[in-house]
């Protein structure tokens, strides 16, 4: 491979959906404020790293503390299960809260419900946590090669969970088939024709972290936001919100994926109105991004809001993990999983590697840049983390 990062610049085209605008974000945030254990996650300004890299600001929104689950995915899972359960019970979700569904009066009805999903780990853990809190049954399927640590974390929450012998997209299809055969509800964080309402709820749930970030930034406005993408649901929702929230001052949205699972990049490169699928095992340390087929809703928002697409080598994500774990001066130490660190590693590589200066120029990264990244997960696979940090696996090429 000739470069650690490849870049495609594609001007936005189309309109962002109001489904992921400021009103939706406020609704999501107000909902989560009523979920037991809610606290806004920290937004850190890595001042020393910013100075080292030659930019004005480098903000990290650290989702590793979200509801004690080490990842942002529970935001989508909790919001989605709440909306779906309200619909199944004939309740107005606008007049009820998460706490209302935890009362004895509705517990008997919820106990009869079963939710099923496919996941690399974080989404399934969020669904399992939400189902346990609400008293519903939960089944979670994980693709071949998934971490045993992630599986055990899901099982500890009471879900029936196992690892399949097929890749992520085939595991999603397996979950959908089981849902249909058993009369269960599929709660998947990707969409396809005919399956869009539940993914919309999940994407709206993700907006809480974006709205929090906006409030924490105050009058500051990022010039660039780097968003990691698996199927593209989180990236699409957050990109759409940022465009809605900031209007003409909206930041440049840069999408980041692994080389081995670059379905968004390939779809953008073709730009022919068709989603592109990546086949095979999709092997990457960025397990949360190991997805071969874009989310229809996510891609629609990205096409309307994003301006550049990156695909990165494993060493780029590993660099992000190492740099965050060994901070400069007074910068906070952040323990990151590989998927969470992917956009951060991309920013570091672009600003520090002279071989990537052409891409840096294309993205207009300079001393005035104010960069925001979302650390979507903490350390969810300690074995992999230690291999990177202690053993130097996937060494930096900067």
Residue the block writes with tokens 């494993």: 314
Contact 317, 289 (CB under 8 A): no
Scan for tokens 């890595």, then name that residue. 46
CA distances from 290 to 73, 142, 169 (A): 15, 12, 9
From 73, 83, 300, 360, active-site residue: 73
* Helix (H) / strand (E) containing 255: strand 252-258
Options 61, 83, 120, 266, the catalytic residue: 120
**Residue 362: both structure tokens together:** 């294309």
Contact 208, 191 (CB under 8 A): no
Tell me how far apart the alpha carbons of residues 218 and 388 are, in angstroms, rounded to a whole number.
Answer: 35
Instruction: Name the 3-class secondary structure at 348.
Output: helix
What is the C-alpha separation between 334 and 332, in angstroms, rounded?
6
Instruction: Read off the tokens for 181.
Output: 């055969």
Q: Are 251 and 368 in contact (CB under 8 A)?
A: no
Give the span between the Cα atoms of 311 and 92, in whole angstroms. Answer: 42
Q: Look up 73 and say whether it is catalytic.
A: yes
Integer-rounded Cα radius of gyration of the chain: 20
Question: Is 120 an annotated catalytic residue?
Answer: yes
Residues carrying an active site annotation: 73, 120
């Amino acid at each position: 491979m000739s470069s650690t990062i490849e870049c495609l610049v594609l001007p936005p085209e189309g309109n962002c959906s109001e489904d992921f605008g400021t009103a939706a974000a406020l609704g999501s945030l107000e909902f989560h404020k009523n979920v037991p254990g809610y606290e806004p996650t920290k937004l850190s300004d890595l001042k020393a790293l910013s100075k080292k890299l030659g930019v004005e600001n480098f903000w990290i929104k650290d989702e590793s503390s979200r509801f004690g689950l080490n990842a942002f995915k529970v935001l989508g899972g909790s919001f989605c299960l709440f909306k779906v359960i309200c619909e199944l019970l004939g309740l107005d979700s606008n007049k009820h809260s998460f706490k209302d569904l935890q009362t004895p009066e509705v517990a008997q009805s919820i106990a009869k419900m079963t939710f099923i999903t496919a996941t690399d780990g974080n989404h399934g853990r969020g669904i399992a946590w939400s189902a346990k809190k609400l008293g519903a049954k939960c089944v979670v399927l994980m693709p071949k090669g998934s971490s045993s640590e992630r599986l055990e974390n899901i099982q500890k929450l009471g879900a029936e969970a196992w690892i399949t012998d097929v890749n992520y997209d085939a595991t999603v299809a397996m979950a959908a088939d089981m849902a249909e055969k058993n009369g269960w509800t599929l709660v998947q964080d990707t969409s396809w024709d005919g399956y869009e309402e539940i993914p919309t709820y999940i994407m709206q749930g993700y907006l809480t972290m974006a709205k929090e970030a906006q409030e924490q930034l105050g009058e500051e406005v990022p010039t660039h936001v780097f968003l990691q993408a698996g199927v593209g649901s989180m990236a699409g929702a957050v990109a759409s919100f940022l465009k809605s929230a900031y209007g003409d001052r909206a930041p440049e949205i840069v999408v980041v994926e692994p080389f081995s699972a670059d379905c968004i990049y390939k779809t953008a490169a073709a730009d022919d109105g068709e989603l592109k699928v990546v086949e095979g095992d999709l092997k990457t340390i960025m397990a949360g991004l190991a997805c071969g087929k874009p989310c229809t809703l996510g891609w629609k928002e990205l096409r309307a809001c994003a301006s550049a697409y990156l695909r990165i080598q494993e060493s780029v994500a590993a660099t992000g993990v190492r740099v965050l774990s060994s901070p400069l001066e007074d910068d906070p130490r952040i323990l990151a999983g590989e998927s969470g660190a992917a956009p951060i590693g991309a920013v570091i590589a672009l600003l520090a590697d002279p071989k990537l200066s052409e891409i840096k120029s294309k993205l207009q990264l300079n001393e005035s840049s104010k960069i925001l990244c979302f650390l979507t997960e903490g350390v969810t696979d300690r074995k992999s983390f230690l291999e990177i940090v202690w053993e130097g696996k996937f060494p930096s090429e900067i």
